[in-house]
Each structure stands twice: as C-alpha cells, then as structure tokens.
Structure 1
Amino acid sequence: MSDFSLPFFPVPGNHDSPDGLLDEFIQYSGAPAAHYSFDYGSAHFVVADSHLGELPKRELAWLDADLSATSQPLKIVFLHYPPFDPDGSDYILRQGNDEFMALMQKHSVSHVFAGHIHAYAQEMRDGVNYIITGGGGAPLYTTSHSQAFYHYLRVTIDGVEVGVEIVKIEDM
C-alpha cells in the first residue's frame, strides 16, 4: 500500500477478520490499528472498528472519548457495518446500534459512511447524514429503499461544508 501517491485510510470489514487476518490487514494496509482517528484541515476523521458486526462497549467508550477530545468543527465517522438498514434486513450491526447513533448525535457528527450492504443509501437521522456505500465491486443487493449500482463516492470538504458526489462506475 505504500506505493499509493495519495493517503490511504482503510476501514476493516467482515472479510478482513477470518482466521485472525485482522492483524495482517492492519500491517499490510498501514493502518495504525483497527480503529483510529486523525485531523485534516477543519475535520476530525474517525475509523471505528465494526469488522465483527458489532460495536462493543469498549469500542463505544473509545469512540465517545475520541470525539469528546477533538476541537475540530467537522466530525466524520467511517465504519464497515451500518447501524441501520433502510430495508430493515439483518445486514446491520448486531450490537451497539442505538448507542452508536446516540453518540453521533451527541457529538454533532456531520457524516457517517458505512459499507457492507452492497448498494447505495443515504438517510438523515437526528441531524447526522448516514451514507451506505457498498457498490464497489461485489454482487449488488436488490432492495426497496436503497439503490443497487456500482459506484464510489467523491467527498470534498470546504471549511465545514461536506460535498458528496456519487460516481457511477458506468459513468467513468
């Protein structure tokens, strides 16, 4: 991963953990740990560790402490499993959903980006913009409340304004 000319900040997912591979994922990707945070410009970026499909109390406590410690005006959180599924299926966190969303509201987090669901969905909840972006290459899920197409997101930050552009793979 050191060959990239741009910074690379990975978020571990459920396929990065079988047979103890998470440590190898962290070492190979260059991530400092399975969860970490950093500041860039006016933003505080947080990568939460949900690769096992849950946010246990220790992860929620770390997240609360991390978000409490920052003075950055803009807070953006990334994790693999989303805290809710717009279609009501079971592709969500199995533990810590409500507590996670309460922390996002408490700390005035602007955006939460998640994957795992192989589709695109966006929903505002309690002032937090939740975006599920799972159209990167695996077979897509056909759903009633999300959009199934291959894509990536181009996210821009200007001060405290966040722009999110959906780029469909077929448009490239």
Structure 2
Amino acid sequence: MKLIKIILFVAIAAIIYSFLPMIKFMTIPAASKEDNNQSNIEKLKNNQGAYFSFIIFGDNHAGFSINDASTIKEIWHMNREDRFRKIPIDFVLSVGDVSLNGARKHFEAFKKLQKLIKYPVIAAIGNHDSSLLFNEYCGIKEFTFVNRNSFFIVLDNEAGELSEKQFEWFESKLKEGTRYAHIFVILHKPPFDPYQQEWYNMDNSPWAYEFRKLCAEYRVDMVFTGHKHMFKSQKFDGVEYIVTGGGGMITEMPEKDGGYLHYVRVMVNHDYVTYEVRKVTPPLWTQFIYYFWKEAVYWARNFYGSGYIFNVNRKHEPARVKQLNDDEYWVINKNPAVE
C-alpha cells in the first residue's frame, strides 16, 4: 500500500511539473507584429554558402492550452538543433493554421510561441487563420524568397484549391526558380490525401493534378504541406511531398499511421537534399488528458476494424461501394456533388 502511494505521488508530481512551462508561457511577451514574413525574409539575404538547414512544422493551432503546451515542447527541441554548430539552422517555416480559429487572442498566442523560437519564422496561411489578422500579425500570404542556393515559393490555398490566376503566378515563379539549385514549395492543404478515409479522393481533383504536374515539370525538390494532423511522405513524378501537421494540435490519427507530434528538419548540402523527422513526446499532462485515451480507442477499434475515429460514416463506405455497378461507381467517384 505504501509503495502504491509513493508511485501515485510521483506520478502526480510529474504531471504537475510537466504543466510548469505553460505557467511561464502565460507571462512572456508576444513577438512584435513587425517580426513578420517580410522582416524575416530580409534577415536571410546575407546568408552565404550552399550548406544549411531549416525546420518545417505546421498546425500548431495556437490559443488552446493542450496545443500550446505541445508546441512549447517542440520549440525547446527546435532551439537545440544547432547546439553542436555543425550546420547552420537558417529559419523555421510554418505550413499554416498558426491559430486555433483565427481569433485575435489566438494570433497573440502564436506570437508568444514565435517569441520562443530563436530562428526567423516564416509562415503560410491555413484554413483556420483569418486572412485579415494573418496579414496583421504574420505579414504577406503569397510570396517567394531566396536563401543561399535555394528558391522558396509560398502559396495561399486557405480556400482549398488554387485559382487559374494563382497557377499563372505559380508557374512564373517556378520558371524563376530554375536559376537556383533547389526549389521548395510551401502551402497549407496537400494536393493528395495523406490519410484516405473519405470516399472522395483529393488525389484526382483537377487542381491537385495540375499542381503536381507543374511541380514535376519544373523539378521541384520538395513540397511541404500540413492540414492533416500527422506526418506523411509520398512521391509523385519524382517530387517529394511531405505533410507535417504535427506542430501542436492534438492528433486524431493513430500514432502508427503518423498521428504524432513532430517537426521536420531539412538539410541542404550543395546539390543534395535530405530530411529527418523529429518525433516529440507530448507533455505528460496532455498524455494523461488525451493522447493515452486516443491510442486506447484505436486499440479497442482494432478488434473489429481500424480507421479515423471521428469519421462516423467511414464504416458504411466499403459496403456501399461493393453494391455499385460500373456506371454508378463512375458517377459517385467522378462527381463529388452526387451523394
């Protein structure tokens, strides 16, 4: 009995200790609004050489305590990436959804998180980010920048698809990027489904097809996206597509399928590009509140099937598809408006 009490006391103390960074977070000042995309791009202009690294993360959804606590822990790891000074970390890129729901207080929380990151932060806009407030707190939404031997294109697909005007601009920038050794593209929503649980497949949508073909034609090195709260890497026509949506928001997918907190470190060495996924364990108190139970639900579901917890209609789809003849299948899968 005494041993049980000791173990219980230690566990409670550890949970409370894991919450302390949140208390400190509440007292720190937010980064200035002038510390935005434009000003941080300017900081990169004098970087020289073809040997460097940068960090990608996304979907931190600032403004909710569980999310912010996880992002704070990730930032602690990010800030240690250059501790051996073997390769310079030039900047951090966010692939969007920097705020929980686009409220001003959520952007204020993001600016606090940005204050903790010791590298320049450049952000894309996500579908949870208010366009006006993003412009006020983070700066421009669609732009390019150069760092050393690499060309970066940041797109705004907050609404989902890209317009024809955006495609024209995108292709003009891809042509401009051919003067550099590497081209990287950043946008929030991926042009494919990293975790296919819906009957409509994004891989075959017109804008996604056109986007992937352009990236292949101009030999883009990597495309970074978020939106899905998970990690997934997939190649289309020789181009690497990375979904990195584990920046703090609670993950819905099972951990074994990529539903874990993480960020990605990309290394560029002259003509060579590689990356490493940095998996981050959630703070203990968030594991107790959410993550343990999420995995337990998936474990239980595996007795009769696995899938996306919150898609209540998923289990009906396979039976429905099996009952369709060829003509009906074509209509259902080619026309999203048909139910």
Do both share a fold (TM > 0.5)? yes
Residue equivalent to 1:140: 251
For 2:162, what is the secondary structure of its paired residue? coil
Residue equivalent to 2:160: 53
Given candidates 159, 173, 180, the residue that maps to 1:72 is: 180
Provide the C-alpha distance between the structure 1 equivalents of 2:184 and 2:122, rounded to a whole number of angstroms: 13
Counterpart AA for 1:64:
E
Counterpart AA for 1:135:
G
Q: Within 5 A, what are the aligned runs for 1:118-129? A: 118-129=229-240
Taking CA–CA contacts closer than 8 Å with sequence separation of 6 or more, which of the two structures ends up with the larger relative contact order?
A: 2
Provide the C-alpha distance between the structure 2 equivalents of 1:129 and 1:145, rounded to a whole number of angstroms: 21
Residue equivalent to 1:14: 127
Identify the structure with the greater strand proportion.
Answer: 1
Provide the C-alpha distance between the structure 2 equivalents of 1:13 and 1:73, rounded to a whole number of angstroms: 28
Shift of 1:86: 3.1
Provide the C-alpha distance between the structure 2 equivalents of 1:41 and 1:25, rounded to a whole number of angstroms: 27
Conserved? CA contact 2:261–2:282, under 8 Å: no
Shift of 1:92: 5.1
Provide the C-alpha distance between the structure 2 equivalents of 1:53 and 1:143, rounded to a whole number of angstroms: 25
Residue deviations 1:122-147 (CA, integer Å, cap 9, x gap): 01110100000111121213269941
With over 3 angstroms needed to count, the CA separation of the structure-2 counterparts of 1:141 and 1:110, relative to structure 1, is: same
Shift of 1:148: 1.0
With over 3 angstroms needed to count, the CA separation of the structure-2 counterparts of 1:35 and 1:103, relative to structure 1, is: same
With over 3 angstroms needed to count, the CA separation of the structure-2 counterparts of 1:125 and 1:144, relative to structure 1, is: farther
Counterpart AA for 1:85:
D
Instruction: Identify the range of structure 1 (85-94 vs 42-51) with the bigger mean alpha-carbon deviation.
Output: 85-94
Q: Within 5 A, what are the aligned runs for 1:1-172? A: 1=31, 2=35, 5-16=118-129, 21-29=130-138, 31=139, 33-70=140-177, 71-88=179-196, 89=198, 96-142=207-253, 146-170=257-281
Provide the C-alpha distance between the structure 2 equivalents of 1:169 and 1:66, rounded to a whole number of angstroms: 35
Residue equivalent to 2:303: none
Provide the C-alpha distance between the structure 1 equivalents of 2:185 and 2:136, rounded to a whole number of angstroms: 22
Conserved? CA contact 2:194–2:243, under 8 Å: no
Conserved? CA contact 1:91–1:117, under 8 Å: no
State the Cα RMSD in Å.
Answer: 2.5
Provide the C-alpha distance between the structure 1 equivalents of 2:201 and 2:157, rounded to a whole number of angstroms: 12
Rg (Cα) greater in structure: 2
Residue deviations 1:20-49 (CA, integer Å, cap 9, x gap): x313212311x3x21100111110011011
Shift of 1:116: 0.2
Residue equivalent to 2:43: none
For 1:149, what is the secondary structure of its paired residue? coil
Residue deviations 1:72-115 (CA, integer Å, cap 9, x gap): 12000000000001333469597611111011001100000000
With over 3 angstroms needed to count, the CA separation of the structure-2 counterparts of 1:158 and 1:171, relative to structure 1, is: farther
TM-score by length of 2: 0.45
Identify the structure with the greater helix proportion.
Answer: 2
Conserved? CA contact 2:194–2:228, under 8 Å: no
Shift of 1:5: 4.4
Provide the C-alpha distance between the structure 2 equivalents of 1:158 and 1:114, rounded to a whole number of angstroms: 22
Provide the C-alpha distance between the structure 1 equivalents of 2:128 and 2:259, rounded to a whole number of angstroms: 21
With over 3 angstroms needed to count, the CA separation of the structure-2 counterparts of 1:144 and 1:104, relative to structure 1, is: farther
Shift of 1:164: 1.1
For 2:232, what is the secondary structure of its paired residue? strand
